[in-house]
Amino acid sequence: MDRQKRRKKSSNLHFALIWTAVLAASLVGISIAHYGSVPSWAKAIRGHFLKGPVICIDAGHGGDDTGASSGDQIEKEQTLKIAQLVADDLESDGIRVVMTRNDDSTTSLESRVQTANDAGALGFVSIHRNMYNGTKTDVKGVEIWTSHDGEAGGTELARLVLKRLTDTGYVTSRGIKGGSMDDPDTDYYVIRNTQMPSILIELGFLSSEDDRAMVEEYADVTARAIADGIEDWISEQTETESTT
Ligand SMILES: [Zn+2]
């Protein structure tokens, strides 16, 4: 191709790119004028295609709601610690993260769901710790909750995160569960109301000395395993997207 043609082709490409940008900006502008805010589809496009996926990390409890406690272990503190480590790991790998709370503030379930939905997150990961008050001494391990009917699409995300956790060698799996502790047919609020695949990790028992290690001396490894599971899942989503 001679230089003249090459220049012409390149200016055509620029022209097309500029018009695509103008068209996209107009569509978003019209939608803002119409709906009063950036519509969710525009956020999703912006999130997934222009800058890569967003993952919402939810540190369970917070503020007035301490969650469970056992001796000096307080659930709301441990969930925030692990959530922040997971977020750091994801961000250092170029994945955008929104957190439902990043300090000890009281955070309603509604606000957690809204944070995830407003961000157009690709996936939602809630972090909790479990508590056992019975007489057995060997109750320990991680269980991951998702929707009972599989409709929310969290089962694969749960499977990959649980696999990475058990791969550490010190995590016992209690499996993937649907619904909630009180009712196997009713999902947890955050699972039920988020618009993307969502999971709730019960990261071991406050009542288990063995499980304590996963949020104390092995906290970094535990967080890295959760981040790796999420990244495995993102890769699967991206592959599915490009082959369909
Ligand atoms: Zn909890």
CA of 241 to the centre of ligand 1 (A): 33
Residues 6+ apart with CB under 8 A from 88: 223
Q: Are residues 32 and 55 in the same domain?
A: no
Query: What mean pLDDT comes out for the span 76-82?
Result: 98
Check pLDDT > 60 for residue 1: no
Q: Are residues 70 and 182 in the same domain?
A: yes
- Predicted local confidence at residue 230, as pLDDT: 98
CA of 207 to the centre of ligand 1 (A): 13
- The amino acid at 198: S
CB atoms within 10 A of CB 1: 8
Instruction: Tell me how far apart the alpha carbons of residues 41 and 49 are, in angstroms, rounded to a whole number.
Output: 12
Q: Are residues 87 and 195 in the same domain?
A: yes
CA of 223 to the centre of ligand 1 (A): 17
- Predicted local confidence at residue 75, as pLDDT: 98
Q: Closest by alpha carbon to 204, among 162, 160, 233?
A: 162
> In percent, how much of the chain has pLDDT > 70?
77
Q: Are residues 59 and 148 in the same domain?
A: yes
Range of the domain at 135: 51-243
CA of 31 to the centre of ligand 1 (A): 38
- Predicted local confidence at residue 28, as pLDDT: 52
Element (H, E) at 233: helix 219-243
CA of 105 to the centre of ligand 1 (A): 15
Q: Are residues 165 and 108 in the same domain?
A: yes
Query: What mean pLDDT comes out for the span 181-193?
Result: 94
CA of 130 to the centre of ligand 1 (A): 7
CA of 202 to the centre of ligand 1 (A): 7
Please calculate the CA angle 48-82-205 and round it to the nearest 5 degrees.
125
Q: Convert the pLDDT of each residue in 23-74 to its tens digit.
A: 665 555 555 455 455 555 555 555 555 568 999 999 999 999 999 999 999 9
Q: Is residue 44 part of a domain?
A: no
CA of 24 to the centre of ligand 1 (A): 42
